């Protein structure tokens, strides 16, 4: 038995874009890096919304998590 294992990755679609990702079913948001957004999501899903007053993200230590913008997309996992 191992205490630490590899990261479980699954095939998913984010806004209709195929991707390999880690699924955290308890998470309320999903993060992607800017380069992935620019190359994969922006061409099909459009521009980021930048109204930070609507969404304020906090880490477990209660510090605010900075972000550039957000998209409201459908995530499909395993069909």
Render pLDDT for 23-57 as a digit per residue (tens, 0 to 9).
877 778 888 888 999 999 999 988 888 766 678 88
Tell me the HSE value of 3 on the side-chain side, using a 13 A CA sphere: 0
For the chain, domain boundaries: 10-77
Asked if 75 and 32 touch (Cβ cutoff 8 Å), the reply is: no
Task: Give Cα 76 distance to the centre of its chain.
Answer: 12
- pLDDT at residue number 52: 61
For the chain, what percent of residues have pLDDT higher than 70?
95
Spatial separation of the C-alpha atoms in residues 66 and 52, rounded to whole Å: 9
Q: Residue range 51-76: average pLDDT?
A: 85
SS3 36: helix
pTM for the whole structure: 0.71
**CA-angle at 66, arms to 65 and 69, nearest 5°:** 120
């Amino acid at each position: 038995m191992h205490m630490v294992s590899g990261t479980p990755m699954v095939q998913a679609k984010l806004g209709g874009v195929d991707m390999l990702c880690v699924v955290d079913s308890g998470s309320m948001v999903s993060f992607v890096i800017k380069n992935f957004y620019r190359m994969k999501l922006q061409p099909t899903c459009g521009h980021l919304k930048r109204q930070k007053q609507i969404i304020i993200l906090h880490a477990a230590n209660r510090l605010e998590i900075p972000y550039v913008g957000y998209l409201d997309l459908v995530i499909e996992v395993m069909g």
